[in-house]
Amino acid sequence: MPNLVKKPLNTHSIAVTFDDNYMQHACVMLQSLNTHLTSDVRVFCIYNNLKEKSRQLLNKHFAGSKIKLEFIEFDKAVLPLLPIKENDHVSEAAFFRIWLPYLLPGEKQVLFLDTDLIVNGDISPPLQLDISAYPVAAIPDSMSEEKKATLGILPTSHYFNSGVMLMNLVYFRQHDLTQKLSEFITNFPQLCEFWDQDAFNGVIKGNFYVLEPKYNAQSWHFDKNCNERFIEVATNPAIVHFTGAGPNKPWLFHNQHPLKKLYYHYLVKTPFAGYIPPDIPRSWRIFRVIRFMIYKYLS
């Protein structure tokens, strides 16, 4: 067990990585985050291919909120050859978190959050942890023993989901983990089925502090056949993470996630309130436009 010395919330920071392709979803996630914060936090936005007008829009929208945005442009020249296929739903931005120890030289710990999630409750407990004995604190993912074995993870250890990670940046620097992660991606691209997440697991090999699963309620937690011990996770999640590719994302009309509505609850509070899912049938598209116009008129 790590020495769980709690620190004031405002001494910690949050990091997100995205580009213009995920700009809307990042804004919605940050909107949900801001709603549940109890005090100010710094949010480092690590970006590439993010237009100036996009940064201005975010700064304007969150001005005066609990979120204090800081934008850091990522130099893609440092990236190794990435194992991203043509139809993958991730972009290069997903790999930027590997370099957070050097992009944020003044930070000791940072909570990384994916942009395909919604904050649904108090997240101050993980923000206040001191995980000095571990590289990260995270939540296990559902993964086969065969997959774990290919990454060198013992059967008694866990494979974790990298979408919510409290990262010990001091540990990363001391153990040169950024370099090791980059080398893993370069040397074992065939093992990176789930991109940088597999690299994190292949390097860390189960040496992480296990957070309560409610801080990363993944899509499989909501499966009706899921273990009964996860019922509380699906009932009262602090973070809802829409894991998986394609139709698993809440911004698509045909998504069937039981908490999909949370995405739209926060969407209407952002500059993207008029968003219409690209896969929506034409009849529904007309209905959504009319409903949005009525909403704007009455609000």
DSSP symbols for 107-175? -SEEEEE-SSEEE-S--HHHHT---TTSSEEEEE----HHHHHHTT--TTS--EEEEEEEEEHHHHHHT
Q: Is the pLDDT of residue 299 over 80?
A: no
Q: Is the pLDDT of residue 264 over 90?
A: yes
69 near 59, Cβ under 8 Å?
yes
Tell me, what's the pLDDT at 286?
64
If we measure between CA atoms, which residue out of 232, 241, 222 comes closest to residue 164? 241
pLDDT-wise least confident of 6-15, 65-74, 225-234: 6-15
Torsion of CA 51, 55, 60, 64, to 10 degrees: 180
Annotate 103-125 with b (16+ C-beta within 10 A) or e (fewer).
bbeebbbbbbbbbbbbbbeebbe
Tell me, what's the pLDDT at 4?
43
How many C-beta atoms lie closer than 10 Å to residue 19's C-beta? 21
For the segment 82-98, what is each residue's pLDDT rounded down to a tens digit?
Answer: 766 655 556 788 899 99
Tell me, what's the pLDDT at 85?
60
Q: Is the pLDDT of residue 212 over 90?
A: yes
- Of 3.30.300.90, 3.90.550.10, 3.40.50.2000, 3.40.50.720, the CATH number of 9-298 is 3.90.550.10
At 77, is the pLDDT very low, low, confident or very high (cuts 50, 70, 90)? confident
Q: Is the pLDDT of residue 227 over 80?
A: no
Confidence (pTM):
0.89
Q: Is the pLDDT of residue 9 over 50?
A: no
How many C-beta atoms lie closer than 10 Å to residue 11's C-beta? 12
Using CA atoms, how far apart are residues 263 and 25, in angstroms rounded to an integer?
Answer: 9
Q: Is the pLDDT of residue 288 over 80?
A: no
Q: Is the pLDDT of residue 169 over 90?
A: yes
User: Where is pLDDT greater, at 144 or 87?
Assistant: 144
Phi first, then psi: give them for residue 84, nearest 5 degrees: -105, 125
What is the Cα 176 distance to its own chain's centre? 23
If we measure between CA atoms, which residue out of 84, 108, 101 comes closest to residue 46? 101
Q: Is the pLDDT of residue 67 over 60?
A: yes
Task: List, in order, residues 6 or more apart from 276 with CB less than 8 Å away.
Answer: 285, 288, 289
Place of tokens 């309620």: 217
